Amino acid sequence: MKINITIFVLLIIPICVFSQKEKKSAYKFTEIIRIKDTPVKNQQRSGTCWSFAATSFFEAELLRMKNEEFDLSEMFFVHLAYQQKAKDYVRLHGKNSFTEGGQAHDVINIIEKYGVVLEDAYHGLEYGEKIHIHSEMEAVMKAMLNIYISNPNNKLSTVWFNAIASVLDIYLGKIPEKFKYNNYDYSPLSFSKHLGIKKSDYIELTSLNHNPYYQQFILKIPDNWSKDLYYNLPLNDFMQTIDNALENGYSICWDGDVSEKCFSFKNGVAIVPEKSWNDLSEKERKDLFKSIVAEKEITQKSRQKTYDNYTTTDDHLMHIVGISKDQNGNKYYITKNSWGKDSNLYNGYLYMSESYIKLKTIAIMIHKDALSENITKKLSIK
């Protein structure tokens, strides 16, 4: 069974803080491509990686488009996503996901409908804590929603949603109607217009062979609670799309599996060793990240198998900002996490190998202009 990402964060973060003297690695990385991004943040004890990753992605997009750094509010997106999740959960009689998790498109969907605000305008910390911790808030809302679904009045009251919205206002704070930026007043919607982020510019892609290639389909993962559509590419095209994006200055919002034994955020590396974990000796396991090891060759078939048997699941979202190579010439993807700057060897970043990306990626979000001309035609994107 896959470990819950919130629990995973709680378990790993306390043991992954290093002093400068303790920083050692068998890997020597050389940057090949590096996209400019904003500082590493910390989702802390909340399962809101989707918001942190996608917000980081759009902050990088603003650096690319406007050459200006913005600190956008993650909790603004969390507040409004919970509102829609609550509506869908009730409308589907509890048969839809209502958790802390989500997907990259949740952020762009909210930007399109409600806008965006700066972190200074909305911190989302109104419940006596200095860090994000949402377990109580989620449990309270889930309990309330289950009461509504049980229908004790034989019909829904007219105020059930107001009650849920009030819980969000109490814990996270009320959404600001206006805020200041450069001495001008903005609403969330007028600010998103000022930034120029358009939903129509962004697409999500995956690579699974149980659906036709070069077409859209609803990706069946629990956190796709909104039933959004993803384009499906063969694995080779999928990997070429990732490389093409980075080579042309576009970063990538990444969704995938991080609960594997060979995903070591502590060491800042994620790999797929040629020998499976269960086939490694105790010494090999202990020494795994002390030297560079050969990795498995990943195929469309092996990738599909891990999706179908639940060994590749949508545990976590992060932000890919570049490409590096180790001292043996192996390719890695520079990935920005949201567990804090002091959380590992590489100041909150890690290096995911090419094999790891091939096998353990669930989906990505990119700007549509990051596609090659060939893939754009195959997907019939205008």
For 93-126, the pLDDT digits (tens) are 999 999 999 999 999 999 999 999 999 999 999 9
Share of the chain above pLDDT 70, in %: 94
Q: What pLDDT, on the 0 to 100 scale, is given for residue 341?
A: 95
Q: What pLDDT, on the 0 to 100 scale, is given for residue 23?
A: 58
The answer on pLDDT for 15 being more than 90 is no
* Placement of tokens 């990626």 in the chain: 361
Residue-wise pLDDT for 134-145, tens only, equals: 999 999 999 999
Q: How confident is the model at residue 14 (pLDDT cuts 50, 70, 90)?
A: very low
Beta strands 216-218 and 202-206 are: unpaired
Measure Cα distances from 347 to 17, 27, 213, 318, 341 in Å. 10, 15, 38, 14, 5
Q: What pLDDT, on the 0 to 100 scale, is given for residue 244?
A: 98
Q: What pLDDT, on the 0 to 100 scale, is given for residue 66?
A: 96
Whole-angstrom distance, CA of residue 186 vs CA of residue 128:
28
The answer on pLDDT for 16 being more than 80 is no
Residues with Cβ within 8 Å of 43's Cβ and at least 6 positions away in sequence, in order, are 9, 49, 51, 52, 74, 132, 338, 339
Q: What pLDDT, on the 0 to 100 scale, is given for residue 24?
A: 72
Residue with more model confidence, 14 or 269? 269
Whole-angstrom distance, CA of residue 281 vs CA of residue 304:
27
User: What DSSP designation does 160 have?
Assistant: H
Residue-wise pLDDT for 306-318, tens only, equals: 999 999 999 999 9
When pLDDT is averaged across residues 236-260 and rounded to a whole number, the result is: 97
Compute the Cα dihedral for 150, 218, 111, 58 and give only its sign.
positive
The answer on pLDDT for 17 being more than 80 is no
Token pair, residue 121, equals 């305008």
Whole-angstrom distance, CA of residue 25 vs CA of residue 184:
48
Residue-wise pLDDT for 37-68, tens only, equals: 999 999 999 999 999 999 999 999 999 999 99
Strand runs labelled E in 245-327: 252-256, 263-264, 269-270, 316-325
Domains of the chain listed by start with CATH number: 5-378 (3.90.70.10)
